[in-house]
Amino acid sequence: MTDYDYDLFVIGAGSGGVRAARTAAATGARVAIAEDRYLGGTCVNVGCVPKKLYSYAAHFHEAFTESAGFGWQLPQPAEFDWATLRDNKIEEIKRLNGIYGRLLEGADVRLINGRARVIDAHNVEVVGETISAAKILVAVGGWPWTPDFPGKEHALNSNDVFDLETFPKRFLVLGGGYIAVEFASIFNGLGSDSHLVYRGELFLRGFDHEIREFTRNEMEKKGVNLHFETNIESVEKQSDDSLKVTLTNGETLEVDALLSATGRRPHLQGLGLDKLDIELNPDGTLKVNDRFETSIPSILALGDVTGAPELTPVALAEAMHMTRVHFADEKLPTMDYNNIATAVFCHPNIGTVGLSEEAARAEFGAIRVYTADFRPMKHTLSGSDERCLMKLIVDDANDRVVGAHMVGEDAGELIQGIAIAVRAKLTKADFDATVGIHPTGAEEFVTMRTPTRC
Ligand code: NDP
């Protein structure tokens, strides 16, 4: 027990903040949490959860068409009602917000609705109350950022795009990261004429090159219009409310909605940290040490606001690590950020863990690359020309699988299991000794015998 009002005051009730508050409270710490927006943060409200629901919705479209080859006769074309999807999603998110509230209540964490401002190393001010805490945790996440161009006020960001009043028949997304490829796929699947504009020669920079090329080809086959090596020059709203988008390559596109998916920035405005001279990373995120302490040790930070990989499971893992170090007094090694598996829910999905072929070659020199590029069994009758790519990267010196990548249906589901093997440093011989499950696409991961290249 300390003289402070609380042992931990958390700012931000997103994935990381809520997990930190609950786990710290479970150790007996007195915890309060402040949130000025919605419980569950980006992931629950305007990120992972609604995105995945919309991705499911978009997949139905091709499933209806593909079902004909299996004998189903449905009225064609099937009709999609945006308002039903949007409003059902809103209800589901309200349910999840309620669950988060009850979790905090059940953990005996005091929830304060308001944006907290840090006054000094141990005091915060929120809705007119000054509260002291032994430790303050900043877990406020990030906020979408849009570059400057004339007409940028007409661009939506990922906070707005889920709740559009009307369905955009023509949709354009700017960017080449996770959100851009996911939303280009989602709106294409839902029936929009969908465009993606990316400044580089190929989207998903940092991912395995072959995976990026394969994804480009599959997305093009599904009808997404990809515009690479160009950017938005300007946007003009027209009298019928449509948007005339002029690209730097001179092309013009007319669309009903424009989404900027050009990255996120730390959401530090109004928090008062600038007045405390807290040290920042070059990208403006909060600098923390391996105990999640900022340059003022009683002020902790984790999740997107620190520049860690912007992924919910990373924030959750950090929150649990932080609690064990600060509230259970455990001596833990630095959190391991290697081999974090991730999925991109473009259509088809990407699942990936470990090193890309390019990164592995740079790190180890001698590698073996195994690939399987095939037409999934389902599509022998569905009529779809969708293909699947699976890929293993092996360090030739010790036979360890150092990277596994997939583009195909449910790639995220499948890579999660493979991630355990990669993290456990299993060898290609271990993969080969694993008996496959037949008939699945996944069995390819244990039946690739001949290297595609070394
Ligand atoms: P990303 O950082 O993934 O991608 C941003 C994209 O915008 C890049 O392609 C970048 O290009 C481009 N860009 C940046 N600045 C400009 C500019 N001035 N003009 C034109 N293009 C620009 O951000 P997202 O917004 O897609 O997503 C944010 C984060 O959220 C992701 O990084 C990811 O960690 C997380 N997320 C995770 C998901 C998942 O797990 N499935 C889903 C959605 C989001 P360049 O590559 O050339 O720099």
Nearest to 137 by CA among 3, 308, 6, 309: 6
Handedness of CA 369, 214, 181, 51 (dihedral sign): negative
**Residue count of the chain:** 454
Task: Give, for ligand 1, the residue of 56, 185, 199 to mutate: max count of ligand atoms closer than 8 Å to Cβ.
Answer: 199
Rounded to the nearest angstrom, the gap between the alpha carbon of residue 263 and the centroid of all alpha carbons in its chain is 11
Q: Are strands 170-174 and 257-260 parallel, antiparallel or unpaired?
A: parallel
- Write out the two tokens for 92: 């589901």
Asked if residue 174 and residue 135 are part of one domain, the reply reads no
- Write out the two tokens for 135: 């430790």
CATH of the domain at 210: 3.50.50.60
Asked if residue 251 and residue 297 are part of one domain, the reply reads no
Q: What is the rounded distance in angstroms from the CA atom of residue 423 to the CA atom of residue 421?
A: 5
The residues near 375 (Cβ < 8 Å, ≥ 6 apart) are 385, 386, 387, 388
Residue bearing tokens 């996944």: 442
Question: Which residue, of 262, 292, 307, is where some domain finishes?
Answer: 262
Asked if residue 366 and residue 314 are part of one domain, the reply reads no
Asked if residue 237 and residue 89 are part of one domain, the reply reads no
CATH of the domain at 349: 3.30.390.30
The residues near 446 (Cβ < 8 Å, ≥ 6 apart) are 431, 432, 434, 435, 436
Asked if residue 269 and residue 258 are part of one domain, the reply reads no
What was the pLDDT predicted at 2? 75
The residues near 58 (Cβ < 8 Å, ≥ 6 apart) are 185, 186, 187, 188, 189, 190, 347
Q: Which domain holds residue 411?
A: 342-446
Burial code (b: 16+ CB inside 10 Å, e: under 16) for 256-272 equals bbbbbbbbbebbbeebe
Q: Which residue stretches of the chain have pLDDT < 50?
A: none
What was the pLDDT predicted at 1? 56
What was the pLDDT predicted at 48? 98
**How many domains are contained in the chain?**
3
Contact 28, 51 (CB under 8 A): no
Asked if residue 281 and residue 132 are part of one domain, the reply reads yes
Taking every pair of Cα atoms in the chain, the longest distance, rounded to a whole number of angstroms, is 71
Atom of ligand 1 nearest to the CA of 205: 46
142 CA → ligand 1 middle, Å:
12
Q: What is the pTM of this model?
A: 0.97
Nearest to 195 by CA among 212, 219, 177, 213: 219
266 CA → ligand 1 middle, Å:
14
Any idea of the CA torsion for 404, 406, 411, 412, to the nearest 10 degrees? Answer: 40
What was the pLDDT predicted at 26? 98
Identify whether 333 is part of a domain.
Answer: no
Nearest CA owner, ligand 1 atom 19: 147
Contact 134, 7 (CB under 8 A): yes
Nearest CA owner, ligand 1 atom 28: 263
What was the pLDDT predicted at 9? 98
145 CA → ligand 1 middle, Å:
10
Pocket of ligand 1 (CB under 6 A): 147, 175-180, 182, 198-200, 205, 231, 261-264, 310-311, 342-345
Asked if residue 134 and residue 59 are part of one domain, the reply reads yes
- Rounded to 10 deg, the angle between the 82-106 and 48-66 helix axes is 140
Verify cis geometry, omega within 30 degrees of 0, for the bond prior to 77.
yes
Specify the DSSP class assigned to residue 442.
Answer: G
Phi, psi of 368 (to 5 degrees): -120, 135
Coil/strand/helix, residue 104: helix
Identify whether 453 is part of a domain.
Answer: no
Asked if residue 184 and residue 215 are part of one domain, the reply reads yes
pLDDT in tens, 126-147: 999 999 999 999 999 999 999 9
Asked if residue 54 and residue 125 are part of one domain, the reply reads yes
